[in-house]
């Protein structure tokens, strides 16, 4: 039996069909974005969508789907993102946690009003810094069009000593449902009590409105097509 691995007649297809195929290849992605405070720019581990590299026709069509996003006052946007389809994932900074720069992330970029899907890390109480719950609340409020927030609890792939990048995805956690429900209730309670306490410390008690949080959904992180960062030509900045 003949097994075909190449389709050499693609260019002979009608133009309308080719363009539809290119558009369908633009799948949903989870785009991990870091704010580099020292250089005032946003960086990502997400690879540039392959459809932007296939050929001139595919790139032209893909640029209708993806736009360069997450620019700052001093740096133009360089990360390809689809505001309606992709999920913006803002991971927890390793040293200070969700600090002041995380709190003001939405104000640093020009895309916040258009983001529809947002993911941030769940922070266990054992390592959570005192300021993180308040900063995460303010961060979430900076994205008015987000109707639910994914809380990333862990990863579903075996970790190793070398940092890796690749296609990042989010999946339902595999832990016991009762444990996950209790974890979620604890997170909601921490937002209610810790955020109100922080407002009081800032002497803004008289202006406090009822806390508004979109639905929180627990997710696990999964990687596909993992690659060693040291082997990438451009490991962090999206071209």
What Cα–Cα distance (Å) separates residue 130 from each residue in 8, 96, 97, 148, 216? 59, 10, 10, 24, 21
Which tens digits make up the pLDDT trace of 77-126?
Answer: 999 999 999 999 999 998 889 998 898 999 998 889 999 999 999 999 99
Q: Is the pTM of the predicted complex or chain greater than 0.95?
A: no
Which tens digits make up the pLDDT trace of 180-203?
Answer: 999 999 999 888 888 877 665 555
Q: Does the pLDDT of residue 220 top 90, yes or no?
A: yes
Tell me the C-alpha distance between 232 and 74, whole Å: 26
Which tens digits make up the pLDDT trace of 14-25?
Answer: 777 877 878 878
Would you state the structure tokens that stand for residue 4, as one six-digit string?
């075909």
Which tens digits make up the pLDDT trace of 158-184?
Answer: 444 344 456 889 999 988 889 999 999
Q: Does the pLDDT of residue 204 top 70, yes or no?
A: no
Q: Residue 207 has what pLDDT?
A: 52
Q: Does the pLDDT of residue 54 top 90, yes or no?
A: no
Domain ranges of the chain: 14-231
Which tens digits make up the pLDDT trace of 133-164?
Answer: 999 999 999 999 998 999 998 765 544 434 44
Q: Does the pLDDT of residue 26 top 90, yes or no?
A: no
Tell me the C-alpha distance between 214 and 123, whole Å: 18
Q: Residue 137 has what pLDDT?
A: 92
Q: Residue 235 has what pLDDT?
A: 31
Mean pLDDT score of the chain? 81
Q: Does the pLDDT of residue 226 top 90, yes or no?
A: no
Determine what percent of the chain is predicted with pLDDT higher than 70.
78
């Amino acid at each position: 039996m003949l097994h075909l691995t190449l389709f050499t007649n693609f260019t002979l297809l009608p133009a309308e069909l080719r363009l539809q195929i290119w558009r369908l290849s633009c799948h949903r992605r989870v785009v991990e974005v870091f704010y580099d405070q020292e250089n005032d720019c946003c960086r990502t581990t997400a690879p540039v969508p392959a459809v932007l590299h296939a050929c001139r026709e595919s790139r032209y069509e893909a640029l209708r789907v993806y736009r360069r996003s997450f620019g700052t006052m001093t740096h133009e946007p360089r990360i390809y993102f689809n505001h309606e389809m992709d999920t913006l994932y803002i991971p927890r900074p390793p040293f200070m946690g969700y600090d002041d720069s995380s709190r003001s992330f939405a104000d640093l970029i020009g895309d916040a009003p258009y983001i529809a899907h947002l993911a941030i890390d769940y922070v266990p109480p054992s390592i959570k810094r005192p300021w993180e719950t308040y900063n995460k609340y303010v961060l979430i409020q900076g994205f008015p069009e987000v109707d639910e927030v994914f809380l990333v609890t862990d990863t579903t792939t075996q970790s190793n000593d070398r940092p890796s990048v690749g296609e990042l995805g989010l999946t339902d956690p595999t832990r016991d449902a009762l444990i996950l429900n209790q974890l979620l209730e604890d997170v909601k309670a921490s937002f209610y009590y810790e955020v109100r306490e922080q407002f009081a410390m800032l002497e803004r008690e008289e202006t406090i409105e009822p806390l508004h949080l979109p639905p929180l959904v627990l997710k696990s992180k999964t990687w596909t097509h993992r690659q060693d960062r040291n082997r990438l030509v451009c490991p962090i900045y999206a071209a």
